[in-house]
Amino acid sequence: MPSCSFSKAVDQALAQAMARDDRIVVFGEDVPMLRPELFARFGARRVLGTPISEGAFVGAAVGAAMAGLRPVVEVMMVDFIAVALDPILNHMAKLEAFSDGKWRCPVVLRAACGAGYGDGGQHGQALWGLLGGIPGLTVVVPSTPLDAAGLMLSALAADGPVIFLEHKLLSESWLEFLGRGGRTTVTFDVPPEGATGEVPDPCSPTPIGSAETRRSGGDLTIASLAVGVHRALAAAEALERRGISAEVIDLRTVRPLDRATVTSSVARTGRLLVVDEDVREMGISGELAASVLEAGLAPRYRRVCTEGTLPYDRAREAQALPHVAQIVAAALELTEARPPL
């Protein structure tokens, strides 16, 4: 099976779907430059650049979907969704409900998310909790190239709007474009298993709403997504050296959330640790806590999340984001096997 980078896997899946379905069009800021292979293969009528006007071109995607196309609209950073929230919140998310199912909005909104390269609090947010709280939207956040390709295929086949988020530390094209900028003097803490992996060509869809158990364990359950999955796996290895067996669940989809996989695991381990790069309050960590309580469980619980606005300074940013030492310390508190680090 050929090895593939995260961003190449997404574009490979897009090309695979575009070759089969000429209703799929891709547009957004700098898209012909960012997706040169798609532009060369499918041309300017299906791969289009737009002005810097997120509200306008996301709104245009809603109209294009209602007219029969299946648009993939790119918002360069999820942070910029703030200026396009009306077509997302009040149009694409509600069209099916308002029309009693007579209209559908098969839009894929693709955006880079996440921090870890020193771009400040207005460029490094996750925001999947905010978007996952909107009824009518599906939100996916892959953590490996294989799932990135598979979830893009599933998003393109969906009848409703899907928010497809790519963490910048996993996507080498976004990291180069937004973080490195050709410099050789900067380094980033990129989890190699998330940035590169085996992806078949052609690839197969990854089911939306289905979590994946990345590591089995019996002492506690760690649930996370995107880069957090890889930080959790590194923490699980450290915990194993201390005699603690951690199960690591990759949520993959924020909405709909695979509550069954998480509650099933927590029912066995009796402990839940949520690792979430998104903000602590009103997010996925609280939603998972509610899910296990509603399932009749009463596990011991901790969460490692981002709190407050991310700083520019990379050393301070690294401490603000969920990291391995934090996860290990929280797991040790949960298991009470060792004092916190």
pLDDT at 124: 94
Q: Does the structure show a pLDDT above 50 at 225?
A: yes
Spatial separation of the C-alpha atoms in residues 137 and 150, rounded to whole Å? 18
Spatial separation of the C-alpha atoms in residues 35 and 116, rounded to whole Å? 23
Q: Does the structure show a pLDDT above 50 at 338?
A: no
User: What tokens appear for 39 in the block?
Assistant: 């532009």
- Alpha carbon 341 to its chain's center: 29
Tens digit of each residue's pLDDT (9 = 90 or more) over 100-152: 999 999 999 999 999 999 898 999 999 999 999 999 999 999 999 999 999 99
pLDDT at 340: 41
Spatial separation of the C-alpha atoms in residues 230 and 2, rounded to whole Å? 22
pLDDT at 339: 45
How buried is residue 298: exposed, middle or buried, by Cβ count under 10 Å (0-12/13-18/19+)? Answer: exposed
Average pLDDT over the chain reads: 95
Q: Does the structure show a pLDDT above 50 at 192?
A: yes
pLDDT at 135: 97
Contact 81, 54 (CB under 8 A): yes
Q: Does the structure show a pLDDT above 80 at 337?
A: no
What percent of the chain is modeled with pLDDT above 90? 93
Least confident of 226-230, 254-258, 276-280, 337-341: 337-341
Supply the DSSP string of 271-285, one letter for each residue. EEEEEEEEESTTSHH
Q: Give the residue among 128, 135, 1, 23 at the shortest CA–CA distance from 72.
A: 23
What percent of the chain is modeled with pLDDT above 70? 99
> Who wins on pLDDT, 178 or 229?
229
The predicted model gives 296-325 an average pLDDT of: 95
Tens digit of each residue's pLDDT (9 = 90 or more) over 264-304: 999 999 999 999 999 999 999 999 999 999 999 999 999 99
Tens digit of each residue's pLDDT (9 = 90 or more) over 29-59: 999 999 999 999 999 999 999 999 999 999 9
Q: Does the structure show a pLDDT above 80 at 154?
A: yes
Give every CB contact of residue 297 below 8 A, 6+ residues apart in sequence. 263, 266, 267
pLDDT at 237: 98
The predicted model gives 332-341 an average pLDDT of: 69
pLDDT at 84: 96
Confidence bin at 215 (pLDDT 50/70/90): very high
The predicted model gives 173-183 an average pLDDT of: 88
Q: Could you give the residue numbers annotated as active site?
A: 123
pLDDT at 22: 97
How buried is residue 51: exposed, middle or buried, by Cβ count under 10 Å (0-12/13-18/19+)? Answer: exposed
pLDDT at 181: 85
pLDDT at 83: 95
Tens digit of each residue's pLDDT (9 = 90 or more) over 73-110: 999 999 999 999 999 999 999 999 999 999 999 999 99
